[in-house]
Chains A and B, each alone.
Chain A
Amino acid sequence: MSASAISIKGLTKKYDGKFAVAGIDLEVAYGEIFAILGPNGAGKTTTVEILEGYRFRDSGEVTVLGDDPQALGDKTYTWRERIGIVLQSSADAGDLSVRETVHHFAKYYPNPKDPESVISLTGLAEKADDKIRNLSGGQRRRLDVALGIIGSPELLFLDEPTTGFDPEARRAFWELIKTLRDEGTTILLTTHYLDEAEALADRVAVIADGKIVEISPPETLGGRHLAQAKITWVEGGKQHERLTSTPTSDVATIAARMGGEVPELQVIRPSLEDIYLQMIGHTK
């Protein structure tokens, strides 16, 4: 067994002579939530589908849970028992109920989770007896997640899981993912939502045009923690602004000078979004 849940070296994949993935290296540790962040067409889904065994690479080395997903041979089904996949889009014909579907998929796996608790964990308890065709988009997505986790996977792939969720549903989903993390599930997530990567991921890989721009924890992405903060405040009826790498002591100095409350004080750090836009802009 290799040390990492996922290990990728020099991965490439071309479609019609054009690189969709142009040389990616990354390692995902066991128990980690790893996010791949990038704009549409950056190569996120291609990369993930190669890891899931849906697509074959052109070159490079890939191991997922210790095995090469395109050379599994006899191990195919024992390997698939250990992973869970939530695809980007699926819309089953929907003549079965949520409960029937989740119970059915549970039987594919040797150690499934309890279908009823998965149904309530994914917030579908009230819809359990509804036909899938009558679910809303967000509810269907939660069913996708339920089917992805029903087999107690060691490794869970989530491809843009919260697209189309309202903010409340997204929060609830994040909580669910954290629960799975606490149970020791390794999670590979692709997303184009920065807040999602920031809320969930231990580490983030930003990819653009099939290449990795950076891999780091979200709080240090793009040197964000080192970037200068902007302090703005009102003093003597006038708006003041200062760029600084020591905002705390600067604010203390200003507060001391003004003798207490500083009117309209703001300390602004570059948001992840600012950094991210800058990063993917750089590669264009």
Chain B
Amino acid sequence: MNILRLGLLRGRLEIKQFLRQRESVVFTIFFPVMLLFIFGSVFKDTIAPGVTFSQYFVAGMIATGLVNSGFQQLAITIPMERDFGTLKRLRGTPMSPASYFIGKAILVTASTLVQIALLMGFGAAMFGLDMPTSAAKWARFAWLIIVGSTCTTALGIAFSTVPKSGRGASAVVSPIVIILQFFSGVFFVFTQLPKWMQDFAAIFPLKWLTQGMRSVFLPDSFVQQEVAKSWEVGRTAIVLVVWTIIGIAFSIKKFKWSNS
């Protein structure tokens, strides 16, 4: 299958390019680990029996990793490629757009997995993060990564049509991610946030991803600390799938290969 063959080639090229851009490697891979180190070292309080804020924070950062690698990375780099004329040039070749997106998905998957592995490793080594305790939790972890990553990739491609230029993309995209991090239970314990913030965050995927990751990494007893007193696994799946569909529909309708 030619589309898949070229998609794999694109993926390899994307990873090669990614690794050569030092800023992107530092920003997407090491920045979350640095944040983990800083926050984890400062806020060591116990927030529930047997659960420290550090552990809570690691779960949130792993969820954020999906948003960083998918949404943030794509919504910033695709407008740059559009500005540079890379997309227009590719459009003129026999390579199908599907191959281009497969290449992006491969890059997102690779950087997500590396980021999550690093966060888990550091979290376990320094802040007492427990690995998932049952096969069911590992399975949930796996589908959260797959569905979550698909969702943020679709949204990243869709949102790449919003920034007017590659130069300005980061200024448009990063604040959205940072605000959602504050509202969705990454930097603060979700239940300590005002109700309106919780309701706002519940519209977007990140809140559901952080809750899902807590269900994987925190003890079952912690569920009593959640707003709904439940992990709401089914609802999480629905929210992520709906956002994925919105992202794909929007991408198909709006994706542009050049600015003119």
Same complex origin of A and B: yes
Residues of A that sit less than 8 Å from B by CB: 52-54, 77-78, 80-81, 83, 85, 87, 89-93, 95-96, 100, 104-105, 107-109, 147, 151
Indicate which residue in B9, B16, B84 contacts A90 across the interface (CB closer than 8 Å).
B84
With A109-B94, A151-B93 in contact, is A92–B86 under 8 Å at CB? yes
B83 and chain A: residue at smallest CB distance: A91
Chain B 62-97 near chain A by CB (<8 Å), digits 1 or 0: 000000000000000000110011101101111110
* Contact-size category for B: 20 to 34
CB distance from A100 to the nearest CB of B (A): 8
Jot down 5 A-B pairs with beta carbons below 8 A, ordered by A. Answer: A80-B94, A85-B92, A87-B88, A92-B89, A100-B13
20 additional A-B pairs beyond A54-B88, A96-B20, beta carbons within 8 Å, are A54-B91, A54-B92, A54-B257, A77-B94, A80-B93, A85-B89, A85-B92, A89-B85, A91-B84, A92-B84, A92-B85, A92-B86, A93-B17, A95-B20, A95-B21, A96-B13, A107-B6, A108-B95, A147-B89, A151-B94
> How many Å lie between the Cα of A271 and that of B217 in the bound state?
80
**Chain B's interface: helix, strand, loop or mixed, by majority?**
helix
Is the pair A90, B93 in contact by a Cβ cutoff of 8 Å?
A: no
**Chain A's interface: helix, strand, loop or mixed, by majority?**
loop
B84 / chain A contacts, CB cutoff of 8 Å: 90-93
Is the pair B95, A90 in contact by a Cβ cutoff of 8 Å?
A: no
A92 / chain B contacts, CB cutoff of 8 Å: 84-86, 89
> How many Å lie between the Cα of A90 and that of B179 in the bound state?
35
Indicate which residue in A78, A83, A93 contacts B86 across the interface (CB closer than 8 Å).
A93
Indicate which residue in A87, A89, A96, A100 contacts B92 across the interface (CB closer than 8 Å).
A87
Is the pair B93, A108 in contact by a Cβ cutoff of 8 Å?
A: yes
With A104-B9, A107-B9, A108-B6 in contact, is A93–B92 under 8 Å at CB? no
